Structure 1
Amino acid sequence: MYWIKPLNFHYRVFCLMFNIGILACGVLVMPAYAETEPACSSGAAGCVEVGEWDISIGFGIGLRSNPLIDGDDLPLFVLPAVRYYGEHFFIDTYTGGYTFYDSGMHQLSAVATIGFDQLYFNTRNVGSLVVDAGPILGSSNNTLEEDEYQLDIGGITAGGRESSDNLVPESNESNAPLESPDWRAPIDIDQLHNRNTAVFSGLEWAYYAENWDGSLQLLHDVTAVHKGQEIRAALSRTGRIVNEFIELSLGFSWQSAELLQYYYGVEKDEVEDEALEYYASDGISPFVRLDWRRKIKGNWSWQATLHNRWLSPSIKNSPLLDEDSVLTLYVGGVYHF
Structure 2
Amino acid sequence: MKFLVQIILLTLCWLPGVQGATQHIDSNKWQFSLSAGQGLLTTPLAGRADLKGNLLPTVSYYGERFYLENSYVGYSLLEQENWYIDLVGSLNEDGMFFELDGTNKFGWWDALGFHRTSFIGDQPGLEVQPSRGSFGTFPANDEPIASNSYQDIKRNLSYMGGISLNWLTNFFDIRLSALKDVSGVHHGQEHHLTIRKNYQFEQWSWQFRAGLTYKDQKLNNYYYNLRPEEVNQMQPQFKLSGTWHYFYGITLSYQLTPEWALLAYWQRNVLDDALLQSRLLARDSYYGRFVGVRYSF
TM-score (norm 1): 0.71
1:227 to 187, 202, 212: 187
**Structure 2 counterparts to residues 187-266 of structure 1, below 5 A:** 188-192=149-153, 194-210=154-170, 212-241=172-201, 243-266=203-226
Checking the alignment, whether the CA contact within 8 Å between 2:59 and 2:111 is kept in structure 1 is no
Shift of 1:307: 0.4
| TM-superposed deviation, 1:201 | 1.0
Q: Confirm or deny that 1:51 pairs with 2:22.
A: no
- Separation in 2 of the partners of 1:308 and 1:289? 6
The structure whose residues are more often helix, as a share, is: 1
Q: Which residue of 2 aligns with 1:69?
A: 46
AA of the residue aligned to 2:83: H
Closer, same or farther in 2 for the Cα pair 1:287/1:326, shift >3 Å? Answer: same
| Preserved contact between residue 70 and residue 111 of structure 2 (Cα < 8 Å) | no
Pick one of 249, 263, 272 that aligns with 1:303. Answer: 263
1:130 to 98, 101, 110: 110
Please report the RMSD computed on the Cα atoms of aligned residues, expressed in angstroms.
2.7
Equivalent in the alignment of 1:90: 67
Q: CA offsets, 1:52-88, max 9 Å, x none?
A: 2211121111101111222201114222222222221
TM-score for both structures, normalised by structure 2: 0.80
Contact 2:203 2:256 survives alignment (8 Å): no
Given the superposition, is the C-alpha separation of residues 275 and 179 from structure 1 closer, same or farther in structure 2, using an over 3 Å criterion? Answer: farther
- Structure 1 pair 179/56, CA: closer, same or farther in 2 (3 Å)? closer
Report which stretch shifted further, 45-54 or 321-330: 45-54
Deviates more, 1:267-276 or 1:50-59: 267-276
For residue 278 of structure 2, give the secondary structure of its aligned residue in structure 1.
Answer: coil
Residue deviations 1:127-165 (CA, integer Å, cap 9, x gap): 943386xxx962x3xx3xxxxx5667xxx6xxxxx5554
Structure 1: distance between partners of 2:111 and 2:146: 33
Q: Partners in 1 of 2:48 and 2:111 — Cα distance?
A: 18
Q: Which moved more, 1:208-217 or 1:93-102?
A: 208-217
- Listed as ranges, the matches of 1:269-288 within 5 Å are 269-272=229-232, 274=234, 277-288=237-248
The count of residues paired between Structure 1 and Structure 2 equals 264
Query: Are the equivalent residues in 1 in contact too, given 2:163–2:178 (CA < 8 A)?
Result: yes
Q: Distance in 2 between matches of 1:284 and 1:304?
A: 27
Q: What do the CA deviations read for 1:88-145 (whole angstroms, capped 9, x no partner)?
A: 11111111121010002110111111111122222368x943386xxx962x3xx3xx
Amino acid at match of 2:198: T
Question: What secondary structure is seen at the aligned counterpart in 1 of 2:99?
Answer: coil
**Matched-pair contact (CA < 8 Å) for 2:196–2:207:** yes
Name the larger-Rg structure.
Answer: 1
Structure holding more strand per residue: 2
- Structure 1 residues 331 and 222 mapped into 2: Cα distance closer, same or farther (>3 Å)? same
Contact 1:247 1:291 in 2 (8 A): yes
Q: Which amino acid aligns with 1:299?
A: E
Secondary structure of 2:280's aligned partner: coil
Q: Distance in 1 between matches of 2:178 and 2:163?
A: 5
Counterpart of 1:13 in structure 2 is none
Per-residue CA distance 1:217-248 (angstroms, 9 max, x = gap): 11000111111001012110112355421100
Q: How many angstroms apart in 2 are the aligned matches of 1:308 and 1:217?
A: 20
CA distance in 1, matches of 2:65, 2:176: 18
Work out whether residues 100 and 108 of structure 1, in 8 Å CA contact, stay in contact via their aligned partners in 2: yes
Aligned to 1:253, what secondary structure does the other structure show? Answer: strand
Deviations along 1:157-195, one digit per CA (max 9) or x if unpaired, are: xxxxx5554xxxxx52xxx32487595553522343x21
Amino acid of the structure 2 residue aligned with 1:73: D
**Higher RCO, Cα 8 Å, sep 6+:** 2
Task: Give 3-state SS (helix, strand or coil) of 1:251's partner.
Answer: strand
Match of 1:17 in 2: none
Q: Could you say what secondary structure the match of 1:121 adopts? A: helix
Of stretches 99-108 and 76-85 in structure 1, the one that deviates more from structure 2 is 76-85
